[in-house]
Amino acid sequence: MMKQQITTFLTFQKNNAEEAMNFYIDLFNNSKVIELQRYEKDEPGKEGNPIPRKRGCR
């Protein structure tokens, strides 16, 4: 049997992306955050918020 893989792309507008991402991966067995980058001081987003790129579940 061929192993299935789910690739997702999630967007959020209310600064709840990390909370939603963690909820979403809890729905699937063996899911995990592959990479999470955060804005640093002097970057265009709010310091500490996740950067909306290079995220996924597998």
Query: What digits encode the pLDDT tens for the residues 9-41?
Result: 767 777 787 888 888 889 888 888 888 888 899
**Amino acid code (one letter) for 48:** G
Measured in degrees and rounded to the nearest 5, phi and psi for residue 25 equal -70, -25
pLDDT of residue 53: 60
User: In this structure, what DSSP letter does residue 17 have?
Assistant: H
- Predicted model pTM: 0.54
Enumerate domains of the chain plus CATH numbers.
Answer: 1-58 (3.30.720)
Cα 12 from chain centre:
10
Residue 32 · residue 57 · CB < 8 Å: yes
